[in-house]
């Protein structure tokens, strides 16, 4: 197969949802349809069970599972599908944000009864900012839930999307009869038998046909006709270019658990979802079909075995072919590197591959020299943008609890930060280290891993910080900026990339500072130019 056909047949995407909406179930059903797994239950949920926040064995077990499910790849009708796993637990939201830099599109799963939930809002906002094409899947239609139109309204209002229903439910919960597929113009009948794999599909090219009354009953048929008329009146027509541009979002209804609406979703997905897209680097826009390889690290996973410090760096291939044993440039260190055993990912396993294409993810062995955001090329200086850090929500001083192990502690902190477990800030005033995290759970993970993997002990001390803001002065030499540095020294720190950060202790003090220094910008994201 030619290089171009290999690119064109790849679809790399992520499934995002609030925990429990059905992401794992949907992933598993997609794999079943792709023939990549044989039975339900094969994909282990990577979610952290409620109440397990201090169970370290649970955290370790999850780490193991999340390596296995980081990338799930399978073939469907000649299309190579790569699903990138995104942790649903909110304490790992940073991880999910970063994974979103490596997807070409997403599927958003929403629970019909719960509607739009908090985690979905945050994740969709990130996708919207980046114009990532999104398809919405409204799940659990076998249960009583919200009215379809109300839910579509909620999706538009809370998520800021412009929806286009491509399927519509016939009834709901106890009365759920099936789905009218607007995209394919057919009716799928629901049997309610969860063991049944393929539901009955009946072609209905004309909704006015009396056939419909026979199949779903007169009352349901009349309601459906009225509802589809409303759909036609309210929502725009589906337009592929607008979807690819992030302007409209198609919606499907179904029940992942009952395998209902999943094939329709998958068929439409392979039809409309984007193939690998061009990516902006600091230097230029890079096209996937360029001859030379380039790619970037979006995730780093530490080895589970503490005796082998090797890590696995997940690299998304942006352009060219990635070849085993070829010399590549690690742009940040300006060093040549070769990979003798790059991993490619399949449904349940990883294997060494000789060649991979744009859209694919390769797992590269790393002994501690790679960081999230690093770029590899065939020699060109390219730095991919878009793996930003967000302001953490929790901040604590980290102290060394065993003075004889300070070297180990520093190395451990350094490597865990490279993995993106949390963010490190070093105070300008006294060089003290502050760890910022999205969730409190990370502090326990860090403490546990420092001890078990690096033999170092740490304690924490609370620090009152409302928000970390990355500082950008209009003029570094201005008196205003010099005064800011002097007056606010107590609140200033450097992040891992040596960027200046203002640790505001309250919303009020942030506002006051912004007013007092109008020529200094305070960003809540580390990447702002």
Among positions 8, 12, 188, 255, the unique one binding ligand G4P when judged by CB under 6 A: 255
Q: How far is the CB of 20 from ligand G4P (least distance, A)?
A: 4
Which range, of 5-13, 23-31, 264-272, 326-334, touches ligand G4P by CB under 6 A?
23-31
How many chain residues are in contact with ligand G4P, going by CB under 6 A? 19
CB 188 within 8 A of CB 178: yes
The residues, ordered by sequence, that sit 6+ positions from 74 with a Cβ below 8 Å of its Cβ are: 30, 31, 34, 35, 36, 80, 81, 346, 347
- Alpha carbon distance 340, 525 (integer Å): 36
Q: How far is the CB of 387 from ligand G4P (least distance, A)?
A: 24
- Asked if 457 interacts with ligand G4P (CB under 6 A), we say no
Residue 486 is encoded by which pair of tokens? 């002097």
Helix/strand/coil for 406: helix
Q: How far is the CB of 59 from ligand G4P (least distance, A)?
A: 17
- The residue among 25 and 356 lying less far from ligand G4P, judged by its C-beta, is 25
Contact track, ligand G4P, 44-83, x by CB under 6 A: -x-x------------------------------------
Q: How far is the CB of 45 from ligand G4P (least distance, A)?
A: 5
Among positions 22, 165, 178, 420, the unique one binding ligand G4P when judged by CB under 6 A: 22
Which range, of 97-105, 250-258, 427-435, 519-527, touches ligand G4P by CB under 6 A?
250-258
CB 127 within 8 A of CB 16: yes
Contact track, ligand G4P, 110-139, x by CB under 6 A: -----------------------------x
Residue 274: how many CB atoms within 10 A of its CB? 19
Residue 35 bridge partners (DSSP): none
- Alpha carbon distance 320, 335 (integer Å): 20
Among positions 6, 94, 95, 142, the unique one binding ligand G4P when judged by CB under 6 A: 142
- Asked if 405 interacts with ligand G4P (CB under 6 A), we say no
Helix/strand/coil (H/E/C) assignment for every residue in 473-515? ECCCCCHHHHHHHHHCHHHEEECCCCCEEEEECCHHHHHHHHH
The residues, ordered by sequence, that sit 6+ positions from 51 with a Cβ below 8 Å of its Cβ are: none
How far are the Cα atoms of 128, 133, 217, 465 from residue 124, in angstroms, in the given order? 6, 10, 38, 27
Among positions 11, 140, 177, 279, the unique one binding ligand G4P when judged by CB under 6 A: 140
- The residue among 47 and 394 lying less far from ligand G4P, judged by its C-beta, is 47
Q: Which spans of this chain sit near ligand G4P (rule: CB under 6 A)? A: 17, 19-25, 45, 47, 88, 139-140, 142-143, 255-258
């Amino acid at each position: 197969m030619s290089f171009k056909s290999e690119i064109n047949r790849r679809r790399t995407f992520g499934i995002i949802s609030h925990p429990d909406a059905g992401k794992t179930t949907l992933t598993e059903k997609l794999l079943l349809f792709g023939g990549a797994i044989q039975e339900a239950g094969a994909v282990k949920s990577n979610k952290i069970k409620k109440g397990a926040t201090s169970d370290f064995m649970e955290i370790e077990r999850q780490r193991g599972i999340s390596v296995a499910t980081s990338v799930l790849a399978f073939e469907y009708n000649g299309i190579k599908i790569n699903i990138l796993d995104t942790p649903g637990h909110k304490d790992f939201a940073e991880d999910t944000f970063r994974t979103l830099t490596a997807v070409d599109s997403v599927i958003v799963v929403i629970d019909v009864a719960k509607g739009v939930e908090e985690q979905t809002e945050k994740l969709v906002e990130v996708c919207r900012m980046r114009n990532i094409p999104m398809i919405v899947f409204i799940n659990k239609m076998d249960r009583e839930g919200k009215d379809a139109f109300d839910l579509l309204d909620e999706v538009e209002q809370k998520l800021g999307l412009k929806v286009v229903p491509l399927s519509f439910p016939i009834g709901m919960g106890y009365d759920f009869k099936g789905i009218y597929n607007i995209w394919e113009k057919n009716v799928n009948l629901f049997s309610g038998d969860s063991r049944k794999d393929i539901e009955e599909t009946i072609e209905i090219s004309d909704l006015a046909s009396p056939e419909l009354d026979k199949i779903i009953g007169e009352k349901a048929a009349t309601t459906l006709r009225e509802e589809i008329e409303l759909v036609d009146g309210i929502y725009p027509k589906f337009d592929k270019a607008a979807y690819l541009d992030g302007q409209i979002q198609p919606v499907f209804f179904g029940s992942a658990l009952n395998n209902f609406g999943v094939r329709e979703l998958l068929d439409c997905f392979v039809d409309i979802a984007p193939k690998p897209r061009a990516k902006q680097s600091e230097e230029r826009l890079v096209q996937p079909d360029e001859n030379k390889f380039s790619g970037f690290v979006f995730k780093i996973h530490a080895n589970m075995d503490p005796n082998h410090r090797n890590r696995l760096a997940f690299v998304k291939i942006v352009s060219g072919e990635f070849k085993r044993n070829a010399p590549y440039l690690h742009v940040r260190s300006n060093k040549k590197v070769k990979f003798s055993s790059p991993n490619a990912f399949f449904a349940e396993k990883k294997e060494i591959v000789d060649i991979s294409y744009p859209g694919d993810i390769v797992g590269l062995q790393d002994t501690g020299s790679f960081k999230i955001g690093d770029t590899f090329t065939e020699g060109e200086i390219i730095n991919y943008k878009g793996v930003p850090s967000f302001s953490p929500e929790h901040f604590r001083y980290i102290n060394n609890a065993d003075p004889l192990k300070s070297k180990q502690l520093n190395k451990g902190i350094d490597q865990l930060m490279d993995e993106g477990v949390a963010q490190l800030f070093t105070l300008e005033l006294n060089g003290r280290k502050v760890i910022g995290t999205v969730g409190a759970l990370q502090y326990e993970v860090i403490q546990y891993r420092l001890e078990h993997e690096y033999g170092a002990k740490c304690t924490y001390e609370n620090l009152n910080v409302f928000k970390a803001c990355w500082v950008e002065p209009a003029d570094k030499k201005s008196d205003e900026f010099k005064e800011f540095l002097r007056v606010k020294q107590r609140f200033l720190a450097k992040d891992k990339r040596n960027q200046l950060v203002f640790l505001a202790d309250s919303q009020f003090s942030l506002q006051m500072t912004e007013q007092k220094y109008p020529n200094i910008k305070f960003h809540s994201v580390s990447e702002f130019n």
